[in-house]
């Protein structure tokens, strides 16, 4: 156990020699099965996590899930743009009815899922601040 002190910690000199990998040294491969838009979103998010030096392999699955949800949300938004919020439909009896485009409910549902997952992952500024406060509060509790 070279470099360890009696307490099991590295000396300051040894700790300074150990450097975390730089962002350009981290290579992460996107999962198979993502669409082109989902891969673009995935790459952007992973790159952002790496540049902020908070990337960890634990992010791989949630980021993939987030990319898939984002892709579905974009498709729902495209449907809304093409057909509008209100659509005409024909009932089983042949009657013409006007109703809300189902893509609206899908879009709202996906938006909520995306926001929830972003919060859980600490991807929004407010969530990052909140999680830091929580860690600090816990530390202060132990000091007392």
Query: So where are the chain's domains?
Result: 12-124
pLDDT given for residue 6 in this prediction: 53
pLDDT in tens, the chain (144 residues): 444 445 556 566 665 555 555 555 567 788 888 999 999 999 899 888 888 877 888 888 899 999 999 999 999 999 999 999 999 988 999 999 999 999 999 999 999 999 999 888 888 777 766 554 444 443 444 454
pLDDT given for residue 17 in this prediction: 58
- Are 67 and 39 in contact by the 8 Å Cβ rule? The answer is yes
What is the rounded CA–CA span in Å between residue 13 and residue 114?
Answer: 43
List C-alpha distances in Å: 24 to 21, 51, 95: 8, 9, 61
pLDDT given for residue 100 in this prediction: 93
Exposure string for 98-122, b = 16+ CB within 10 A, e = fewer: eeebebbebbeebeebbeebbeebb
pLDDT given for residue 106 in this prediction: 96
pLDDT given for residue 81 in this prediction: 96
pLDDT given for residue 141 in this prediction: 46
pLDDT given for residue 120 in this prediction: 86
What is the rounded CA–CA span in Å between residue 12 and residue 10?
Answer: 6
What is the rounded CA–CA span in Å between residue 61 and residue 67?
Answer: 10
> Which pTM does this prediction carry?
0.66
In degrees, rounded to 5, the angle at the alpha carbon of residue 28 between the alpha carbons of residues 23 and 32 is: 155
């Amino acid at each position: 156990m070279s470099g360890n002190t009696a307490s099991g910690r590295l000396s300051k000199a040894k700790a300074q020699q150990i450097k975390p990998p730089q962002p350009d040294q981290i290579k992460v491969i996107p999962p198979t099965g993502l669409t082109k838009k989902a891969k673009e979103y995935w790459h952007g998010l992973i790159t952002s996590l790496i540049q902020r030096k908070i990337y960890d392999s634990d992010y791989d699955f949630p980021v993939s899930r987030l990319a898939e949800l984002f892709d579905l949300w974009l498709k729902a938004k495209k449907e809304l743009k093409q057909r509008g919020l209100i659509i005409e439909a024909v009932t089983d009896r042949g009657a013409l009815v006007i109703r809300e485009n189902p893509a609206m409910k899908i879009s709202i549902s996906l938006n909520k899922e995306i926001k929830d997952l972003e919060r859980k992952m600490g991807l929004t500024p407010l969530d990052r601040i909140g999680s830091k406060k929580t860690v600090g509060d816990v530390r202060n509790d132990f000091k007392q």
